[in-house]
């Protein structure tokens, strides 16, 4: 069975909701508190696993109550956790999030064990990395580790260049697919990316050396360009009333990886359309990993796409 390997981050999200954000030194009474499992790497891995992907996670967690809970969560999702390392005297990565009624938020992230993902992890999982059918990486863990993993892999390599940052040009020639949203694409190209100038953005990003570039556009779907076809395409998606958009991009990446190995005969625009469908379904429910759909027939219809 084709193997999807994710090397990246795990974090626990502590989220409080209040009528507004507090001012410096102020204490407010909140309305709701939630604890959930997050981190871009684990989100993408769980999204793939829930869709039936044969997944493995390479990451680090603290040997604390949150790390142990997270390990159980990955196992329950059907993820192979052979290369999940629990660290002593280091906390599991956390995100402390405050959300106001108007949608504004404040976030403090403590990487914890995520910051220690390194050479030891790529060496111990070298055979897995080499032979993975799809390898997924992001930018929430040390860049050098993701770069080394991409150099080792012989299959399809998907880089979700998030959170947005510059200075990643070295890894791009090793990427089969570079997947970014509008803000991430804007930082990498040096101009504000939108649907009107998406072709210029796709062309510029493609020149960095990857095979294919996908820019996700939220409710407007996604655009992509491959050096093999040189035809920029806009894949449309269904319109829904969103409940919670957190983690939708991760749902897209996990679905993309799954469908690339499970539905190889499908055209790439249909695969991207199916991944958009998964992301769209995720925004209709609260939460991140809990909002990701279980396996369903994502190809029961054809997805609309247009040439740009």
Active site residues: 250
Residue 218 assigned to a binding site: yes
Q: 231: helix, coil or strand?
A: coil
H or E element: which one contains 113?
none
Which residue intervals of the chain are DSSP H helices? 40-50, 65-76, 119-124, 126-131, 143-152, 182-189, 198-206, 248-262, 268-282
Distance (Å, whole) CA 192 – CA 184: 10
The verdict on whether residue 287 carries a ligand-binding annotation is yes
3-state secondary structure of 7: strand
Asked whether residue 78 is marked as a ligand-binding residue, the answer is no
Annotated binding-site residue? 221: yes
Give dist(CA 113, CA 240) in Å, integer. Answer: 37
Q: Find out whether 50 and 292 touch, Cβ atoms under 8 Å.
A: yes
Q: Any known ligand binding at 244?
A: yes
211 labeled binding residue? no
Residue 103 assigned to a binding site: no
> Is 217 one of the annotated binding-site residues?
yes
Is 122 annotated in some ligand binding site? no
11 appears as a binding residue in the annotation: yes
Cβ atoms of 284 and 258 within 8 Å: the answer is no
- Residue list, annotated binding site: 11-13, 39-43, 140, 181, 216-221, 244, 246, 249-250, 282, 285, 287, 291
- Residue list, annotated binding site for substrate: 11-13, 39-43, 140, 250
- Residue list, annotated binding site for ATP: 181, 216-221, 249-250
- Residue list, annotated binding site for K(+): 244, 246, 282, 285, 287, 291
């Amino acid at each position: 069975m084709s193997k999807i390997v994710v090397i990246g981050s795990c974090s626990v999200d502590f989220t409080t909701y209040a009528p507004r954000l507090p001012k410096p030194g102020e204490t407010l009474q909140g309305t709701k508190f939630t604890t959930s499992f997050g981190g871009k790497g684990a989100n993408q891995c769980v999204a793939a696993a829930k869709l039936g992907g044969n997944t493995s996670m390479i990451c680090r967690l603290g040997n604390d109550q949150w790390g142990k809970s997270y390990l159980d969560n990955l196992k329950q999702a059907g993820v192979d956790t052979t290369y999940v390392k629990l660290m002593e005297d280091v906390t599991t990565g956390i995100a402390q999030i405050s959300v106001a009624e108007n949608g504004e938020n404040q976030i403090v992230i403590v990487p914890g064990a995520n910051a220690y993902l390194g050479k030891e992890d790529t060496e111990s999982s070298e055979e897995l990395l080499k032979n993975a059918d799809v390898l997924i990486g992001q930018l929430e863990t040390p860049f050098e580790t993701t770069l080394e993993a991409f150099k080792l892999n012989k299959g399809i390599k998907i880089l979700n260049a998030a959170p947005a940052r510059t200075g990643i040009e070295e890894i791009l020639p090793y990427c089969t697919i570079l997947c970014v949203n509008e803000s991430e694409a804007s930082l990498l190209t040096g101009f504000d990316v939108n649907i009107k100038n998406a072709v210029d953005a796709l062309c510029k990003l493609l020149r960095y050396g990857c095979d294919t570039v996908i820019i996700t556009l939220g409710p407007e779907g996604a655009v992509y360009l491959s050096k093999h076809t040189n035809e920029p395409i806009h894949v449309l998606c269904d319109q829904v009333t969103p409940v919670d958009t957190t983690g939708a991009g991760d749902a897209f990446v996990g679905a993309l990886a799954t469908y690339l190995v499970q539905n190889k005969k499908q055209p790439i625009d249909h695969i991207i359309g199916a991944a958009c469908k998964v992301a769209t379904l995720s925004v209709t429910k609260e939460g991140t990993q809990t909002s990701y759909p279980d396996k369903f027939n994502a190809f029961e219809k054809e997805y609309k796409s247009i040439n740009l």
